[in-house]
Amino acid sequence: MTGDSGGPRVAIVTGGSRGIGRETAGRLAQDGFAVVINYAGNKVEADAAVEDLVASGALAFAVQADVADEVAVASVFDQAEERFGGVDVVVHAAGVMPLSPLADLDLAVLDRVLRTNVRGTFVVDQQAARRLRPGGAIINFSSSITRFSRPGYAAYGASKGAVEAITLTLARELRGRNITVNAVAPGPTATALFLDGKSEELITRIAGESPLERLGEPADLAEVVAFLAGAGRWVNGQVIYVNGGSI
């Protein structure tokens, strides 16, 4: 799989040092992408992810950046272009998920959620819209919580509703560019983001809500992202719920 310059197609994966983002980076590398892993702060995890990719034969490097900082995000794209010649796919998997009933939510926490999940999506997508090569794809991450409406998720669910609005609007704004824009909306998935702070009893109960009677795995999501980044050119302006039939 090659880009316009004859080199490999290039993907930036935000939140690529762990969880779904890391699994997705590996899956795209299998398809021949050069991968730029963006991470928020854990350099050890990011370096380990890059080492795994390079050991598999992929081209990869990591860049630290706060996704809500437009200067830092622009630098991620700059470095991807300098190293690999351009950018074809952006997978925006970075996000935060603090939980609290709405009545008890510290508004400073709400501000952090909105800054990372909403402003972060806007900033990343803005750079992607300006800089992706024709034939590219922007893949945001929403959440099935926009349909579950589970107590405690008001801030997170509101932020992901905004992600969906951004995604669907941008898909239409990029008319004529041959760039697709979609959002993947996971259900409960066995990552640290979901598992942290939950009792084993609660995790078992939530897993049982799916007709498939299990939690999702990062690989389940990575396969959908790989499709959207590759063969799924006729899927555009959609939110794809990947949750094992929980809703």
Active site residues: 156
Distance CA 80, CA 60 (A): 10
Phi, psi of 174 (to 5 degrees): -95, 20
Nearest to 241 by CA among 135, 138, 159, 164: 164
Longest Cα–Cα distance in the chain: 55
CA distances from 204 to 2, 19, 196, 197, 247 (A): 43, 19, 14, 14, 17
Task: Evaluate whether 216 touches 244 at the Cβ level (below 8 Å).
Answer: yes
d(CA 99, CA 56): 37
Q: Are 104 and 26 in contact (CB under 8 A)?
A: no
Q: Is the dihedral of CA 46, 160, 34, 38 positive or negative?
A: negative
